[in-house]
Amino acid sequence: MEQTNCAILSTHTFINRKKIRELLLYFEKEEFSPSTERGGKEAESKVLEEWISTAKTQCLLFICSAGSSLIGQVIYTLITRLTNDDYHNWKLGFAETAITINVTYSPNFEIIWAYQNLAYLYLIINACVTVLLMTGTLKFISIQFIFLQMYLRRISKLSQCKEHENIVNNKNNTKEKYLKEYVQDAIIYHISITKLAKKAMDLFSGSILTTFTFSLGLLCTSAYRASLHPFLDLHVAFILIEALAGSFPSIMICFYGETMRKESEDVALAAYDIDFVGANIDIQKSIILLIRRSQTATKLRAGKFLDASLATLVWIMRTSISAYMMLRTVNAKNGN
Residue 1: its pLDDT value, please?
55
Q: What is the mean pLDDT of residues 248-272?
A: 86
Q: What pTM, to 2 d.p., does this model score? A: 0.79
What CA–CA distance (Å, rounded) separates 72 from 166?
A: 69
Q: What is the mean pLDDT of residues 142-170?
A: 76
Q: Is residue 20 part of a domain?
A: no
Q: Is residue 18 part of a domain?
A: no
Q: What is the mean pLDDT of residues 21-35?
A: 82
For the stretch 124-143, pLDDT in tens is 777 778 888 888 888 889 98
What does the angle CA 58 – CA 25 – CA 39 come to, to the nearest 5 degrees? 70
The least confident of 97-101, 144-148, 288-292 is 97-101
β-strand partners of 306: 302
Provide the pLDDT confidence category of residue 2 given band limits of 50, 70 and 90.
low
Cα 273 versus chain centre, distance:
30
For the stretch 36-49, pLDDT in tens is 776 666 777 788 88
Answer yes or no: are the C-beta atoms of 148 and 189 closer than 8 Å.
yes
Q: What is the mean pLDDT of residues 192-198?
A: 89
Q: Is residue 22 part of a domain?
A: no
Provide the pLDDT confidence category of residue 300 given band limits of 50, 70 and 90.
confident
What CA–CA distance (Å, rounded) separates 103 from 109?
A: 4
Q: Is residue 28 part of a domain?
A: no
Per residue, the 3-state secondary structure of the chain, as one string, reads CHHHHHHHHHHHHHHCHHHHHHHHHHHCCHHHCCCCCCCCHHHHHHHHHHHHHHHHHHHHHHHHHHHHHHHHHHHHHHHHHHHCCCHHHCCCCCCCCCCCCCCCCCCHHHHHHHHHHHHHHHHHHHHHHHHHHHHHHHHHHHHHHHHHHHHHHHHHHHHHHHHHHHHHCCCCCCHHHHHHHHHHHHHHHHHHHHHHHHHHHHHHHHHHHHHHHHHHHHHHHHHHHHHCCCCCCHHHHHHHHHHHHHHHHHHHHHHHHHHHHHHHHHHHHHHHCCCCCCCCHHHHHHHHHHHHHHHCCCCCEECCCEECCHHHHHHHHHHHHHHHHHHHHHHHHHHC
Residue 99: its pLDDT value, please?
62
What CA–CA distance (Å, rounded) separates 44 from 323?
A: 46
Residue 124: its pLDDT value, please?
76
Residue 336: its pLDDT value, please?
46
If one compares 302 and 165, the residue with the highest pLDDT of the two is 302
What percent of the chain has pLDDT above 70? 85
For the stretch 220-233, pLDDT in tens is 877 877 777 777 77
Instruction: Answer whether residue 93 shows pLDDT above 50.
Output: yes
Residue 112: its pLDDT value, please?
79
Q: Is residue 32 part of a domain?
A: no
Instruction: Answer whether residue 201 shows pLDDT above 80.
Output: yes
What CA–CA distance (Å, rounded) separates 279 from 174?
A: 11
Q: What is the mean pLDDT of residues 70-78?
A: 77
What CA–CA distance (Å, rounded) separates 78 from 147?
A: 52
Q: Is residue 206 part of a domain?
A: yes
Tell me which amino acid residue 146 is. Answer: I
Residue 169: its pLDDT value, please?
53
Q: Is residue 25 part of a domain?
A: no
Give the chain's mean pLDDT.
78
What CA–CA distance (Å, rounded) separates 163 from 185?
A: 18
Residue 171: its pLDDT value, please?
56
What CA–CA distance (Å, rounded) separates 75 from 87?
A: 17
| Number of domains forming the structure of the chain | 1
Residue 213: its pLDDT value, please?
81
Q: How many CA atoms lie within 13 A of 71 on its CB side?
A: 6
If one compares 256 and 68, the residue with the highest pLDDT of the two is 256
Residue 174: its pLDDT value, please?
66
Residue 165: its pLDDT value, please?
65
Q: What is the mean pLDDT of residues 299-323?
A: 79
Which range in 26-40, 260-274, 312-326 is most confidently predicted, on average pLDDT? 260-274
Q: What is the mean pLDDT of residues 158-176?
A: 63
Provide the pLDDT confidence category of residue 164 given band limits of 50, 70 and 90.
low
Question: What is the domain range of residue 148?
Answer: 2-13+38-335
Q: Is residue 260 part of a domain?
A: yes
Q: Which of 20, 262, 295 minimizes the C-alpha distance to 137? A: 20
Q: What is the mean pLDDT of residues 210-227?
A: 80
What CA–CA distance (Å, rounded) separates 327 from 150?
A: 51
Answer yes or no: are the C-beta atoms of 250 and 211 closer than 8 Å.
yes
Provide the pLDDT confidence category of residue 240 given band limits of 50, 70 and 90.
confident
